[in-house]
Amino acid sequence: MLNEKVRKDRQSPADLCITFEVNGEQYTICIGAAELTEGDSRDELKRALGDYISCSLCCARKRGFAACMLRCVEGDGRCCDNGANNCE
């Protein structure tokens, strides 16, 4: 679900980065400055951000947030405790 347009680290000072906290742990997602201005990639970027936010909200209710996010964002899109159990 997460593609190369949304990253986990800042590559340029102009990148847009969003940091959020779940259970005392901080997580960051970044979008390249060029991606914000290119017309063709904007719909794809919106879709990727929507997927990431949906996964974040679901995984915030699950145990093992990082494992849940890994599966949800970079795997099959399912939201699961510890990335493996009680999936939605």
Domain limits, the chain: 6-74
pLDDT score, position 1: 43
Contact 17, 28 (CB under 8 A): yes
Q: End-to-end alpha-carbon separation of the chain, Å?
A: 16
pLDDT score, position 62: 93
Q: What is the pLDDT along the chain (88 residues), one digit of tens a residue?
A: 445 556 667 777 777 788 877 778 787 877 777 666 666 666 777 777 788 888 888 998 999 988 998 899 888 989 999 999 999 9
Question: How crowded is residue 1: how many other Cβ atoms within 10 Å of its Cβ?
Answer: 16
Contact 66, 80 (CB under 8 A): no
